[in-house]
Amino acid sequence: NERFPRIFFTRKRIDDGSVYLGPFTSKGKVKSIFDFIKSIFPIRTCNYFLSETNIKNHKFRVCLEYHLGNCKGPCEGLMSETEYNENVQNIVHILKGNMSLVKNKFKQDMNEAVTNLAFEKADDIKKKLQIIEDYQGRSAVVHTNIDNVDVFAFADAEEYAVINFLKIKEGMVTQTKTLVLTKKLEETKEELLSLAVNELRLQFQSDASEIIVPFLIEMAEQNITQTIPLAGDKKKLLDLSFKNAWYIKEEKDAGKKERTDKNLNIRILDTIQKDFRLKERPYHIECFDNSNIQGTNPVASMVVFKNAKPSKKDYRHFNIKTVTGPDDFLSMKEIVYRRYKRQLDEAEPLPQLIVVDGGKGQLHAAVESLKELDLYGKITICSIAKRLEEIYFPDDPLPLYINKKSESLKVIQQLRDEAHRFAITFHRLKRSKAAINSEIMKIKGIGESTMRELMKEFRSVKKLKQASEKEIEKVIGKAKTKIITEHFKIAEIQNTNKENSL
């Protein structure tokens, strides 16, 4: 409601006589439209009071926007109010999605300029037409024959409904919005969609005389055609809108499941805290297990649970370094010490609960390491013995028996089983490596790097022997494959001769 009206983005609607267009649901979309408009129509951005008197008295001077070509200087009378208002009217047409009105006016002006031999002006208008064409090319074109139609799709859920709205002008999606309506009573889908349609049409000031809907509804407005398409372009539009609504529903359902899972995890952690006499929720639990067969290739594992779920990126393997022979107690003492010595040195977070797979002996060994690191008493530690699922705590001769149906016991069992699985897997891998190393490294012409490649691919000598020459060639080439296959053939003949001699 001012001379030489400005056009700007606002989040508030004030009853001051201004013309409001929208709403636009995306700030990025608004910026894109503004940039597009400014490239065609120079509009002032200043807040000068451009009265006729002020302009005549030269009260204002053109600013940088004028020199940049973004404004034609109405503040100094360099642009007439009629020409300026014509530009504003064209901008309003664009914001309402009426591109064809603007394009037709430009084409008319261009033809007049050519007739009057004003070729430079005609070329300038042609460039603006091209900008409009390019902008339309980036917009979502659905069908050029569909104009001024509102599309509404409905996705139903147990506690709410999602309604998506598409505004179609001149074959393009010009506006879109999605509503999520919470079910308060036993509303029917027709009632919910009717509520959303009436609200959205009012909000977007829609003047479309046709709406595309999945089913018939009651309308507050009269003389509105309701179309329920079964095929064709309008059906495609309804499907597009439904996909949008369904996507929001899926996102909302996923968020609800995540919140439910989070609440479940907190409940489980609270149960563990109570059952294991902890001072705080055990968001971070670590479990240790040893693995060796007759003292060969002694290894250990540590698995981590965070928020009552496995955190596999934090799992660790340990090669036992200071213990000779099968000594589970000393092995446990070593790995617990190494783990938490490193955590302290690197200022990494410590768990609220440590679980040791084993009985009193393994627990005592782990406690010794914590005492050496001055961590005993600062972290709760326990062990879980197999068979009876007894839980032992330091300085308590009697085990704790937790109800077998308890969620906390199930988590600790899962933790223990995961640590055992992880340790066994690592132990098998080491034994496999050792077997491959001992047999393959004997072969003249086969080095350590070749052995590693074979081990990576076949995992065991048995699988390597079963592999075809072509399979081996893919890994190490023809020459080395020949050496290995010849070695295996000779070894097989020797074994056969030994068996025959027996």
Residue 295 CA to residue 289 CA, distance in Å, equals 15
Q: Among residues 87, 111, 138, which one ends one of the domains? A: 138
Final residue in a domain of this structure, among 202, 231, 251: 251
Do 333 and 407 belong together in one domain? yes
* 123 and 185 both lie in a single domain: no
**Domain limits at 491?**
441-501
Tell me the longest C-alpha to C-alpha distance in the chain. 124
CATH of residue 321: 3.30.420.340
Note whether 350 and 418 are same-domain residues. yes
| pTM (predicted TM-score) | 0.43
Q: In whole angstroms, what is the distance from residue 352 CA to residue 381 CA?
A: 9
Residue at 493 is within a domain: yes
In a domain, 267, yes or no: no
- Judge if 319 and 417 occupy the same domain: yes
How do strand 160-169 and strand 149-156 relate by DSSP bridges?
antiparallel
Give a yes or no: residue 198 inside a domain: yes
pLDDT of residue 213: 93
Pair (320, 400) in one structural domain: yes
- State the pLDDT at residue 22: 59
pLDDT value, residue 139: 53
Element containing residue 317 per DSSP (H, E):
strand 316-319
Number of domains in the chain: 4
Same domain for 47 and 178?
A: no
Q: Is residue 174 domain-shared with residue 123, that is, in the same domain?
A: no
The span from the CA of 159 to the CA of 186, in Å, is: 10
Both 417 and 377 in one domain: the answer is yes
Q: Which stretches in the chain have pLDDT values below 70?
A: 1, 11, 13, 16-17, 21-29, 97, 134-144, 257-262, 292-297, 387, 426-442, 491-502
Instruction: Give the pLDDT confidence of 109-146 residue by residue, as tens digits.
Output: 888 888 888 888 888 888 888 877 766 655 554 555 77
CATH code, 458: 1.10.150
Is residue 106 in a domain? yes
On whether both 297 and 355 belong to a single domain, the answer is: yes
Please report the pLDDT score of residue 426 as a whole number.
Answer: 63
Q: What proportions of the chain, in percent to the nearest 5, are helix, strand and coil?
A: 50, 15, 35
Q: Which CATH number covers residue 154?
A: 3.30.420
Q: Mark whether 453 and 396 lie in a shared domain.
A: no
Residue 394 lies in a domain: yes
Residue 263 lies in a domain: no
Q: What is the dihedral of CA 187, 192, 195, 198, to 10 degrees?
A: -150
277 phi/psi in degrees, rounded to 5: 55, 45
Judgement on whether residues 407 and 291 belong to the same structural domain of the protein:
yes
